[in-house]
Amino acid sequence: MMNATNARDYRQIPGTYVFDGAHCQKGYALNMFCKSLDLERNRAAFRADSPGYLKNFKLSDEQRNAVLDRDWLAMLRLGGNIYYTFKLAIFDGLTMQHVGAAMSANGMSVDDFREMMMSGGRPINGNRSVEEWSHG
């Protein structure tokens, strides 16, 4: 049974951004911006003036910059939900493989990312917990 002391143990897993209640609140405006791209008129407005369109949402400066820079990993760190942020990737004509490659350590090509996934994914060594990183 989970208790208060281990309720957030998933935060010790490198690269894991669980969309829990706190993360949901943090990313609400970012996710609502991404959701707005469902409508063609909003996509047209964003295409015409991205910084101006983003002013319609209560984004933090970090969130705004992450959107404009298409920093996919930063969007997740800042409360973005992958299902919402992927709407922005689709707007840009990207696939999930493009986004996955961009979010990989030091970035990687789409072909390298695809090959890694086809070969079983990322290796587990060094990726079990943040504590592992402190042991070299």
Domains of the chain: residue spans and CATH: 18-133 (1.10.700.10)
User: What is the structure's pLDDT at 125?
Assistant: 62
Task: Kindly report whether the global pTM for this prediction surpasses the value 0.95.
Answer: no
100 CB burial (10 A radius; 0-12, 13-18, 19+): middle
Q: What are the b/e assignments for 9-42, b being 16+ CB within 10 Å?
A: eeeeeeeebebeeebeebbebbbebbebbeeeeb
Sequence-distant (6+) residues with CB within 8 A of 33 are 54, 56, 57, 59, 67
* pLDDT at residue 112 is higher than 90: no
- Whether residue 75 is predicted with pLDDT greater than 70 in this model: the reply is yes
pLDDT single digits (tens) 13-68: 666 667 778 878 999 999 999 999 999 999 999 999 999 999 999 999 999 999 99
Query: Exposure of 66 by Cβ count < 10 A (0-12 exposed, 13-18 middle, 19+ buried)?
Result: buried
In which element (H, E) is residue 76 found?
helix 72-77
pLDDT surpassing 60 at residue 2? no
Report the distance separating Cα 66 and Cα 56, nearest Å.
16
pLDDT of residue 135: 54
Calculated CA dihedral for residues 46, 84, 99, 53, nearest 10 degrees: 20
